[in-house]
A and B are shown apart, each in its own frame.
Chain A
Amino acid sequence: KAGVTQTPRYLIKTRGQQVTLSCSPISGHRSVSWYQQTPGQGLQFLFEYFSETQRNKGNFPGRFSGRQFSNSRSEMNVSTLELGDSALYLCASSLAVVPYEQYFGPGTRLTVT
Chain B
Amino acid sequence: GDSVTQMEGPVTLSEEAFLTINCTYTATGYPSLFWYVQYPGEGLQLLLKATKADDKGSNKGFEATYRKETTSFHLEKGSVQVSDSAVYFCALKYNQGGKLIFGQGTELSVKP
Contacts and interface: CB of A to CB of B under 8 A. Distances in A.
Contact of A43 (B49, B89, B98): B89
Contacts, number: 66
B22 interface: no
Contacts of B101: 45
A102 interface: yes
Given A42-B104, A43-B89, A33 B49 contact: no
Contact size class for B? 20 to 34
Contact of B100 (A4, A6, A33): A33
Contacts of B98: 31, 33, 45, 48, 50, 55-56, 92, 94, 100, 102
Contacts of B69: none
Describe A's contact surface by its main secondary structure: strand
A102 B35 CA distance: 11
A105 B43 contact: yes
12 contacts: A43-B102, A45-B100, A45-B101, A48-B97, A55-B97, A92-B44, A98-B51, A99-B32, A100-B93, A103-B46, A106-B42, A107-B43
